[in-house]
Structure 1
Amino acid sequence: MKYDVIIIGGGPAGYTAAEAAGKAGLSVLLFEKQSLGGVCLNEGCIPTKTLLYSAKIYDYARHASKYAVTVSEASFDLPKIIARKAKVVRKLVLGVKSKLTSSNVTIITGQGTIINKNTVQCNGETYECDNLILCTGSETFVPPIPGVDQISYWTHRDALDNKELPSSLVIVGGGVIGMEFASFFNSLGVEVTVIEMLDEILGGMDKELSALLRADYSKRGIRFLLSTKVTAFEKTEQGTNISFENSEGTGILLAEKLLMSVGRRPVTEGFGLENLSLERTERRCIKVDEHMQSSVEGVYVCGDLTGCSLLAHTAVREAEVAVHHILGKQDKMSYRAIPGVVYTNPEIAGVGQTEESLLAAGTIYKTIKLPMAFSGRFVAENEGVNGMCKILVGDDDTILGVHVYGNPASEIITIAVMAVELRLKAEEWKHIVFPHPTVGEIFREAL
């Protein structure tokens, strides 16, 4: 049988494309070599947020007295936290499978291998298609630091399934994944150290707000080594010796457990990509146009393989654009307002330009900053803490970027996403009626 669309990869990009194409009446075949949902659903976005919510509830219980509520001897059960995480993942994976099945998508478990742009093989069978969508995702990158092949270490996958707390944990990498795990283990009482090569955590996020998050976690006991390079690992009976160097000299840390979290890279091997001769970007990712079509007609690339934005919500939108182009609909991908969120406690979220990116581009702008305490709802729900809202406005009054530090930043940032994507003027945004009392009112208060 010849399919209208064959999709390789069943993560957010793959299953979104499959459902959209199936609902539109196209014949769709989806290959997934492991589990539907990809990294995001099985070992990324969803499981980490499940663990972090348990840690947040534990934090609230321990500090309930701030809200005039007494909770005696708050405790947690790590194996049960991990079990609940697995239950949530199973439920959502079944939900994805149900949606695809109801959209008449054929699902094959196995590695689809590209023969040419119209032919894919899997498990000894050959399948034909008119359009091919590549959604192979990304994988953990482990740098070739001397000694790394002689030690045992965690990746995010190992940390998600661990049922015993270490006494100490060193996290190499202070990006989003590293900070979320730092938050989780710190809440549960583990001694955490974060080593980051850059001069601030959360590269790409607003530096000022990232520094506020770091300062808060420093007060909670997390040790940060910034502008620090790991030079070697050595296995010991007590754990792992981590050698490092920075402007102050050299040093060695002993960690019972080590979490490698320096980033991810697109999966480009193992599925016959070399048989397509696609045009690459400077970073060796696949180059696509505004419709997510590659340099080869009929071959589309969505998600991490493009290297544009390694985020699940970006992948979902890219998949929609690709399917719309196959269907002949007018649509194109915009990266103007891709939100970034860090699900620590408190959260940090941002969209659009940062001060750093605007300065680098030489763009004229003004900064509006307001403490989160100017939101009545925030004050009611966040006793004894504060946060920051920052809005970046161009010289023509256009909203260029918005950044929030404080709960629930992940939920209210969508309001700002729309303002940035639609290029609203500050005055236009201010005229919109916000419900009261909500934390989202902080944007209108700032303006």
Structure 2
Amino acid sequence: MKSYDIAVIGGGPAGYLAAERAAETGKKVLLAEKRTVGGVCLNEGCIPTKAFLYSAKIFEYEAHKGKDLGLCCENAALDHAKVLARKQTVVNTLVGGVSSALARKKVDVVQAEAGLRREERGFAILCGRESFFAEKVLLATGSEPVIPNIPGVAGGIGDGSVLTSRDILDLQELPEKLVIVGAGVIGLEMAAYFSIAGSKVTVVEMLKQVGGPIDTDLSGALQRHLEKTGIEFVLGSKVFDVSGKTAHVETPSGVRELPYDKLLMCVGRKPSLHIPGLSGMNLCMEHGAVVTDLHCETNIPNLFAAGDVNGKCMLAHVAYREAETAVNNMTGTPDEMDYSAVPGVIYAQPEAAFCGLTEQQAAAQGINPVIKKAAINLSGRHIAEYGMSDGFCKLVLDQRGQTILGASLFCAYASEIVYSLALIIQNKIPVKSIKKTIFPHPTVCEIVRETLFI
């Protein structure tokens, strides 16, 4: 039986980064992945959706905004087949890059489903007919789409009329009518792409706002923008049947029937824990997720978990940081997770980005926050590139107005600006220091400084 210092089960963002970081410390590392390295993010999530959305953004500029920019783009058209092919090229390139990095760092990669058995000094990792030993193990098996028990869903998945977030990224033809169940990040981004591409999109959501628990101002602005592209939202409503290519929806005003060619089911994700032998190890679980402490360690000594499998915050960038935290603790460097300033982005156009507490969350915690909000039209670069818009920057400050607790942005480049806000929030940088910082001009990020002076 070949022995390793650390074994990683799962090759997504948490898994492959953990394997690389552990190998960099000189540890002998095994990575077991039953599909393709890169995980959900690289193969069926973050990256392919961004490839789709970038094509849609360029097409929207050409078809609808070109004349305003002094461009002549007559008969602009979006070729979905070519978008699909480019998406796959992007994915293949990045997957190849991850594989190469693992090879350079001498990580042993086994493409197989891995089972786990606890032993006296560590763990046995069972991969088909092969078995390995590791002193410490990281579980990084990611997540999978939730498939609700709604009549017609199983049959629709069988005949291809009902899709998951994985399936829709390989859809060969644009549907004339697309119904999306769920107005979270995945639902909104796919709604944005397919609406611009030419599908008639209807989004059904149980909550009364889009985007989940984001700031209500941000949710409202995002919804209004997407509605201008032709998307219809049916909020506060529940799909109870999808038979006969028709979504039967219970709405506040009665039952609606929404016919579709394709229906995208994206009501959430759940930890993926199909690991033979795991159920017999008395691993502490909660709501279907592995319970971990701030060191990313489970209740079983030397067994760690990072990424979607722990259910804390299902985002690739959180998985990266959890992987580093786990490896640091595995290799003798104390480290802890801090979830106080996790940034998030919805890649519509313009982008919606957020970090820290919303105004509503601050109030729920008994904080009487100071709210500062500025229109993005204060940014000269934003107007030069995008014209006047209803975008904004909203900052949630503590009740004395001395530190920023949260931020919401609705503007171009929001995904790039929100990092600075995460840094500010997590490190509690005083507002007076930020005001003294010189921001480059003309940039959209200047809106942060402008907002503080409101």
Distance 1:377 1:255 in 2: 41
SS of residue paired to 1:439: coil
Residue 21 of structure 2: aligned partner: 20
Residue 351 of structure 1: aligned partner: 355
- Amino acid in the other structure paired with 2:299: S
CA-to-aligned-CA distance 1:218-252 (integer Å, 9 cap, x gap): 122111000001111112xxxx1111112111121
Residue 337 of structure 1: aligned partner: 341
1:197 to 183, 186, 206: 206
2:295 to 269, 291, 296: 291
Does residue 1:222 correspond to 2:225, yes or no? no
1:88 to 90, 93, 96: 90
Residue 101 of structure 1: aligned partner: 103
Shift of residue 18, structure 1, vs aligned partner: 0.2
SS of residue paired to 1:118: strand
- The normalised TM-score by structure 1 is 0.97
- Amino acid in the other structure paired with 1:94: G
Distance 1:431 1:328 in 2: 39
SS of residue paired to 2:136: strand
Shift of residue 59, structure 1, vs aligned partner: 0.6
Does residue 1:395 correspond to 2:404, yes or no? no
In the alignment, is the contact (CA less than 8 A) between 2:205 and 2:234 conserved in 1? Answer: yes
Shift of residue 295, structure 1, vs aligned partner: 0.9
- Amino acid in the other structure paired with 1:98: S
- Amino acid in the other structure paired with 2:73: V
Residue 60 of structure 1: aligned partner: 61
In the alignment, is the contact (CA less than 8 A) between 1:114 and 1:275 conserved in 2? Answer: no
Residue 369 of structure 2: aligned partner: 365
In the alignment, is the contact (CA less than 8 A) between 2:270 and 2:288 conserved in 1? Answer: no
Distance 2:375 2:318 in 1: 29
Residue 150 of structure 2: aligned partner: 145
Distance 1:430 1:156 in 2: 42
Residue 444 of structure 1: aligned partner: 449
- The normalised TM-score by structure 2 is 0.95
Residue 429 of structure 1: aligned partner: 434
1:79 to 78, 81, 88: 81
Shift of residue 350, structure 1, vs aligned partner: 0.3
1:118 to 85, 104, 123: 123
Please give the root-mean-square deviation of Cα atoms over the aligned residues, in Å: 1.1
- Amino acid in the other structure paired with 2:284: E
Distance 2:26 2:285 in 1: 32
Residue 30 of structure 2: aligned partner: 29
Residue 387 of structure 2: aligned partner: 383
CA-to-aligned-CA distance 1:20-71 (integer Å, 9 cap, x gap): 0011100000000000000110111100100110010101111111112221
Distance 1:207 1:32 in 2: 40
Q: How many residues align?
A: 442
Distance 2:142 2:277 in 1: 15
Residue 167 of structure 1: aligned partner: 176
Distance 2:432 2:44 in 1: 42
Shift of residue 291, structure 1, vs aligned partner: 1.1
Comparing 86-95 with 272-281, greater Cα deviation is found at: 272-281
Distance 1:188 1:156 in 2: 17
CA-to-aligned-CA distance 1:134-155 (integer Å, 9 cap, x gap): 0000000011112222323011
In the alignment, is the contact (CA less than 8 A) between 1:390 and 1:402 conserved in 2? Answer: yes
- Identity of counterpart residues, as a percentage? 41
SS of residue paired to 1:101: helix
Shift of residue 268, structure 1, vs aligned partner: 2.0
CA-to-aligned-CA distance 1:343-401 (integer Å, 9 cap, x gap): 11111000000112112212121110000111111111112423010000002422100
In the alignment, is the contact (CA less than 8 A) between 2:376 and 2:389 conserved in 1? Answer: no
Gaps of 5+ in 2: none
CA-to-aligned-CA distance 1:84-107 (integer Å, 9 cap, x gap): 100010000010011111111000
SS of residue paired to 1:60: helix
